[in-house]
Structure 1
């Protein structure tokens, strides 16, 4: 899943794809580089980011989706927690809703997903982007998030969303310390065992700099290392900024027998 943030303030690529032409060209290049999904977001969810209105978010993402729909041959995912934005994006051609609030942020979101028959990625986040990194606490981070994801899947099914359209995401970096993130990644097989497609969104995040001992380090190599570990553990979707090196690393990892480790 290639990340396309059409925002001025996302933590890693804010401002790079604000122009519609730039965003479209980037998405087409991601497809050429081997992406299977393009995830388009119009509101930053980095720690302490400021929320934007639905109108502003729509104005950022809809023109890009409109232009991409006749050019991409892979699905578009809309990264939003607002039902109105999701509805407009689906009308423009998006096929997946990627909701960082686990469909809890907007009471209309479940009906949007049901009414349009799209897929949904349900993520765990403790708090909101404005509060999630203040002091994230868990007694058992893996068990608590596992229970949360199972409960949200049950909620989605009760709303009428078929299980085969539900993807789960433990929410790396969303209301977690660096150690929480590492514990969750080491438990990837446990989340895979829940039986739904698993998305891991680790690309360029702060825990990588922590492990490397340098928060200013280029995090691409670290991202690739986590991608390989997650793939070996059975994760289905890797949400990344750097599609080409990720695809190439996975191709060689598989050729060398690395994916044979999967349960």
Structure 2
């Protein structure tokens, strides 16, 4: 049986479908291209995400893909003070930080972060120790063995989902063994990371296998290349494809959805909840007069 997910001051049960809003403190993000690099713009984005229904904000200080080098000091400069300001404005918001570095993880947890989103599959083992030390949550991902900020080149798997399952469940058990709270661990198949488009599509179809592990499943699909290549569309035209993938993934057992478009994602997830009977309609008037 899955234990309730506990992040920061919040506890969520299996029926809760959660939006994790993306707020990048980077000048070169693949989608927003630096729209929230300035701190005031980033704070406005957080406020807007909360108003639009996000339970979690995920703050990043380094672009995931290729780009200029960003060392740990610069990453910390971009995110640590910002986490402090967000925490002061939103006491119960779950604050996540997208980092693979233990030094940055320690600094942001000291500043008030609740969740460490390790998008690079335990590249720095010390990050687990930080999560355990601060009682923070931890996201276990699959990258096919790639080091941080590298793109896949002709990735090949006998069974991509088997590889994902082995990696993320292994990391999850390693996290718990290191002292991370079991009710704070999530698994993420990491669409696009270490994967070609057909791999990401197969992972999506087979999400029930990840959900069956009992670990809460996070999916980060927003505007990604597997959506764009499926539909033949550029980044700024991938909303509908992202929302379709979101609805399917929610139906198949994912629980947390990392998203750029918070309001639209929140509405899609609420509709899925109503259809599956885990959420009541906002109003019931038709045929009742």
Structure 2 length normalisation: TM-score?
A: 0.85
**Alignment partners' CA distance in 2, 1:144 and 1:138:** 7
Match of 2:262 in 1: 243
Match of 2:131 in 1: 113
**Alignment partners' CA distance in 1, 2:70 and 2:76:** 10
SS, match of residue 76 in structure 1: strand
**Alignment partners' CA distance in 2, 1:156 and 1:213:** 39
Match of 1:222 in 2: 241
Cα distance change of structure 1 residues 174 and 221 upon mapping to structure 2, 3 Å threshold: same
Instruction: Identify the match of residue 181 of structure 2 among 135, 140, 162.
Output: 162
Match of 1:150 in 2: 169
* Aligned: 1:71 with 2:70: no
Deviation, 1:222, is 0.8
Match of 2:5 in 1: none
Deviations 1:233-252 (A, max 9, x none): 11110000000011112223
**Alignment partners' CA distance in 1, 2:118 and 2:165:** 17
**Alignment partners' CA distance in 2, 1:68 and 1:153:** 28
Deviation, 1:40, is 0.2
Cα distance change of structure 1 residues 131 and 65 upon mapping to structure 2, 3 Å threshold: closer
Instruction: Identify the match of residue 113 of structure 2 among 81, 88, 94.
Output: 94
Deviation, 1:128, is 2.5
Instruction: Identify the match of residue 71 of structure 2 among 33, 50, 53.
Output: 53
Match of 1:2 in 2: 21
Deviation, 1:196, is 0.7
**Alignment partners' CA distance in 2, 1:161 and 1:70:** 25
Deviation, 1:257, is 4.4
Asked if 1 retains the 8 angstrom alpha-carbon contact of 2:54 and 2:262, the reply is: yes
Match of 2:12 in 1: none
Higher relative contact order (Cα pairs below 8 Å, separated by 6+ residues): 2
- 1:180-259 → structure 2 map (5 Å cutoff): 180-215=199-234, 218-257=237-276
**Alignment partners' CA distance in 2, 1:258 and 1:184:** 25
**Alignment partners' CA distance in 2, 1:259 and 1:230:** 16
Deviation, 1:155, is 1.2
* Aligned: 1:44 with 2:63: yes
RMSD: 1.7
- 1:165-176 → structure 2 map (5 Å cutoff): 165-176=184-195
* Aligned: 1:138 with 2:153: no
SS, match of residue 200 in structure 1: strand
Asked if 2 retains the 8 angstrom alpha-carbon contact of 1:209 and 1:217, the reply is: no
The gaps in structure 1 that reach 5 residues or longer are none
**Alignment partners' CA distance in 2, 1:161 and 1:37:** 19
Deviation, 1:215, is 3.5
Match of 1:30 in 2: 49
**Alignment partners' CA distance in 1, 2:247 and 2:278:** 8
